[in-house]
Amino acid sequence: MEEEVKITIYKVSACGYYKRGESAAPQFGSVNETLQDLRNWIGGKLLGETKTYSAEENSGPLTYVVDVTERQGDWLLTLWNELETTDGKVASIDGRAQVGRADVTMTEFEVGSIPGYATYFWFMPDAGLMATVRFQHAAAGQVSMNKHLRYFLAQFSANVVLAEGEVEHADINVVGYRAGPAAVVTHFKPQFKTELLRKPGPIDFLLERSERIRKVSKKGVLDIAERPKRALWQTLLENLHLETPAARPHEVKVNYEVEVEGLSPDQLQAIVDAWHEEDQDANNYGFDLKGESGSTYWLDHAFVKDTVPVDVQRQNEEIVNAASLLDALRGHRRYLLGRANA
């Protein structure tokens, strides 16, 4: 079945084990090795056993590995992003109800089930790139994916050295990392990070004109699975005189703007830097300049994004067959890499 997917291209800026204070190149580790290692690690596990960090370490949804697939050097990683529940129930609100009188329904889930949604990540290691692949959801989950792989490298990869006599469990005691079974144990720092692939020009254009910025706008998606964003949504509801504390679907779109009397280059750069730590597929910042009417300069115009058709097989309404998706994406590889290198 042919569907359209939204593609955003990132560069893999860190993957592996690095000397403290150095970030140019890892001492050992690569994208290929990490994804191969991840595929080996999930073998024989239940899906619920594939998370790499706990709720206590989490400021976003817990993630689980659905699939890791490879085709001719390219990889597709499929993750499952867990929605928070209340006593095993997910809240939903009737969008057709009158404001102030909306009822909330608590939907129960079977014991052991994990309510959530899927996210897809296409890795092209030979080009040093990764792309988020979005179907029906606004959020791409890139931030959570970075965290999942970073914690995997820190605690579960084949490079991890545990305390003598210890086996992998919830409270593992990592004593170091090594490139192979016979290598020396080191205290290098595990890192995994992706950053939007930036085209030269648009951000530099704004930095040169930051004092002319008269309005800053933000388009965003609040993921109600995340406590801070759910708290913000609750505040917004209260300001609208709604008492209901929860909303579904799990993603809520918000748009807001602030009038300003110019920004310094440092202030504008701080916004850009903060945006790099967000899910850029779900959030965007726009800037209006004095002396220009009707023109908003959006940050995402500085990056490589596109919508392409893919002929895929679906396992169900939420999960796409990984092999069919990766094969379809590879059909657009040359075109997308051309855009990335333009």
pLDDT band at 145 (very low <50, low <70, confident <90, very high): very high
Helices (runs of H) and strands (runs of E) counted in the chain: 7, 15
Closest CA relative to residue 280, chosen from 259, 307, 305: 305
Which of 14-28, 166-180, 231-245 comes out lowest in average pLDDT? 231-245
pLDDT at 189: 96
Instruction: Count other C-beta atoms under 10 Å from residue 236's C-beta.
Output: 15
Instruction: Count other C-beta atoms under 10 Å from residue 53's C-beta.
Output: 18
pLDDT at 167: 60
pLDDT digits 0-9 by tens, 244-281 = 544 455 566 778 888 999 999 999 988 888 877 777 66
Res 176 pLDDT > 80? yes
pLDDT band at 42 (very low <50, low <70, confident <90, very high): very high
- Tokens for 124, please give them: 């092209």
pLDDT digits 0-9 by tens, 76-130 = 999 999 987 666 676 666 666 666 666 767 777 777 788 889 999 999 999 999 9
Res 58 pLDDT > 60? no
pLDDT digits 0-9 by tens, 277-332 = 777 667 888 899 998 887 888 887 778 889 999 999 999 989 999 999 999 999 99
pLDDT at 305: 86
pLDDT at 241: 59
Res 342 pLDDT > 70? no
Average pLDDT over residues 190-213: 87
- Tokens for 245, please give them: 């504390």
What count of Cα atoms within 13 Å lies in the side-chain half-sphere of residue 57?
13
pLDDT at 235: 67
pLDDT at 244: 53
CA distance 187 to 178: 9
Segments of 1-127 assigned E as strands: 2-18, 63-71, 74-82, 89-93, 104-108, 116-124
Average pLDDT over residues 18-41: 94
What is the overall mean pLDDT for the chain?
A: 85
In angstroms, the Cα distances linking 83 to 113, 281, 341 are: 11, 19, 37
CA distance 179 to 186: 9
Percentage of residues in the chain having pLDDT higher than 70: 79
- Tokens for 246, please give them: 């929860």
Res 190 pLDDT > 90? yes
Res 169 pLDDT > 80? no
Res 170 pLDDT > 60? no
pLDDT at 231: 62
The residue ranking higher by pLDDT, 239 or 337, is 337
pLDDT band at 196 (very low <50, low <70, confident <90, very high): confident
Average pLDDT over residues 177-205: 89
Res 226 pLDDT > 90? no
Average pLDDT over residues 144-162: 96
